[in-house]
Chains A and B, each alone.
Chain A
Amino acid sequence: MRAGHATRPQRDPIVLRLGKTVLGTNALLAFAFLYVPILVLIVFSFNESRSVARWSGFSLEWYQKLFGNEALLRAARNSLLIAFVSTLASTAMGTLTALGIDRYRFRLRNSFDALLYLPIVIPEIVMGISLLLFFNLALFPLLQALIQVRPTLGVPTIIIAHIAFNIPFVYVVVRARLVGFDRTLEQAAQDLGANEWRTFWRITFPLLLPGILGGALLAFTLSLDDFLVTVFTAGTASPTMPLYIYSLVRRGVTPEINALSTVLLAASMGLVGLSLTLQRRR
């Protein structure tokens, strides 16, 4: 229980001493630091000329170029496909696991719990190269021996990798939701005549749903945005959006990248807005 936070005292001692102005200025500068680069980026995506620093007029030319770009559109489609598939699989497995570990005692329970937290702590690049090695040195030779065809890195391997790093995130989110779950609600349902199955579907699952959706949304975003793990499991092509952007950014600074970035930002905002309205609906 928190110790009395009902009233925020007017005379907040530390804030008072430091002065709200000092804290406020720090916060303002920090927010500015976070947003100015993005705003500049957005503004210059509408620039008429090729310059990314000198404004010469409004134009949608760079956006139009995006829509004609085959490679880009293909990358976008792949990113969405990979995100959907990996989110579905990891949400199902992550939720199931969270329920299993939270509700039941069995041997190795703590080991599994630790195993699930591990991927979050390991640096992404290590996870990426480990999968590269695994596919090339273990899985592919094995499959080649079995079916006489040597598979290559590509969208399927990316999906496998994304599921692997998403399961822990869904697990952590759902598990946190379970820890605070009021078990007396389930007891009340049983007291009123609901058996275990009905208790789960009528009480536990609906109340858990926001957490599950939150985990799914997190997994979806992580998959769409992922670069490091994807770059090592993608092979030679640039099949996802982040990889495509990377190949562009390496070459230099152009308004096309600005336009693409702005589109991605808008898409992210859309997702944030979606998750917020879903939460408010509850």
Chain B
Amino acid sequence: MKKNILYSALAALFLSSLFLNSCTDLEETPQDKVTSETLIEDPNLIPNLIAPALGQLKGLWYRESFWGLQEATSDELCFPTRGTDWFDGGVWQQQWLHTWLPVHRDVGATWNRLNTAIAAANFGVSVLGTGDDVTDEIKGYRSMLRFLRDFYMYCLIDLYGVSPYRDPFSTDYTTDPVYLTRENAFYFIVNDLKTILDNMPERAEADYGVPNRDACLMLLSKMYINKEVYVGQAAWDSCLLYLNQIIDPGNYQLAENYFGIFGPDNHLNFKQPGDEAIFVTELDDDQSYGIDDQVIWVKHTFHYNQFLMGDFTNNWNGCVAPQGYLEECWFNGTDTATDVRWVDSTIYPVMAVVNGFNYGQQYSTAGVALVDRGGLPLNFTFDCPLENATENNGVRVLKYAPRNTPVNVMRTPNDFIIYRYADALLMKAECLARNGNTGDALTIVNEIRAKRKAPALASMELMDILKERGRELYWEGHRRQDMIRFGTFLLPKPLMNKPDPSPETAKLVPIPQTAIEAAEGDLLQNPGYN
């Protein structure tokens, strides 16, 4: 009897414990994420598939990303080291001196960002499939994703000379991708762009902020204008062919107000007379979208003690426009008294800074002369050494002026203009000049200069186009590519502590060490970096 009670008690105990936990399969059940199946089931989520590939664009125009590698390595922008300030492990000096190594922070971060962006585009492509029995809208989205993939691949070959490629429909990321050489990638990209061109939405119908047919044409033009650099074979006529498809319909005009192109409400220019924007990435100061403090350089350049509008605080006294560039492009190239691109003081009464180049004694919005943190007058000089610069050294540039009433000083409402009309015109002038037609080239350049209230050039040589690009497109993320194409990238920059020319191999940045390691032998380092 006793035993029976005992055994039934025991049985009851075991049974109850089985209710408390039956054996588990140990599968993860995510709470704040979804599996890909969930997402694909809902057709309303298609724009959410475009968003990741498009969203990666925002982070490229940042000092530690693609923009930084295109600008801080060129002659028109430098982050000098001021005491300890802006040393940052040497990354800026290395960019200026072209002495980067495969472990360079931004070389690695930019590679990762571009790779992630391609993967995001690939994923969207894989979800939208390949079949023809779909709506034009879906075809448009597919093309946009492929355009974005091609754009990121173009960024990769421009910097690193190599682009990985992976079949979008393969999601086993432990397998090795194919590493396309610059030449193979070139043909892959232009063929793909030509295939999707007619499925891309026309500018007239396209949404603002997404790539349209003109963006696709512009990227094709960029590919061809750099074909000589990428493949060793010039293709000026091909470039002209695509540029003319942008220019000839007359959808774009040069802006009446140069700095209006970049202003805080520049999205209002869309399709208005004087709209130059061909390809933009929309930004917003309400939300961070994960890229606080990354755009658009106001904080990077102005001094700690400058409070634009009285309360736009927290500036970091970073990058400057080097003296060598100022002398070449401005003091010997144009009339700074009339050229609106040099100084436009419209915003000065509110912000105590000017659009364009800021130099000399700086004042507060109340008109009080500012001092630096050491108590010396805050007087921006034209000269600036690379190392041990003072807080006053260097001319500061403002292109994307902040809003009068900032919502958040770490963010920006200005949309970033990736490609614009003046760039297309200057590319056309360049192709004409390279084909020997300097007359038509001069006409185009003078058309732009007239809009910018700069005196017309009497004659021109090819190098004048590079100088004009330096005046028109400064700090917009084109300079390194332009200088390489015009053969000036490796030259010494003696006014800022770079007395020696760089080796030929510096035209490519190294492939990041982490990428070399992860590729396990499939990816060879660029020459000069081993």
A, B: real partners: no
Residues on B facing A (Cβ under 8 Å): none
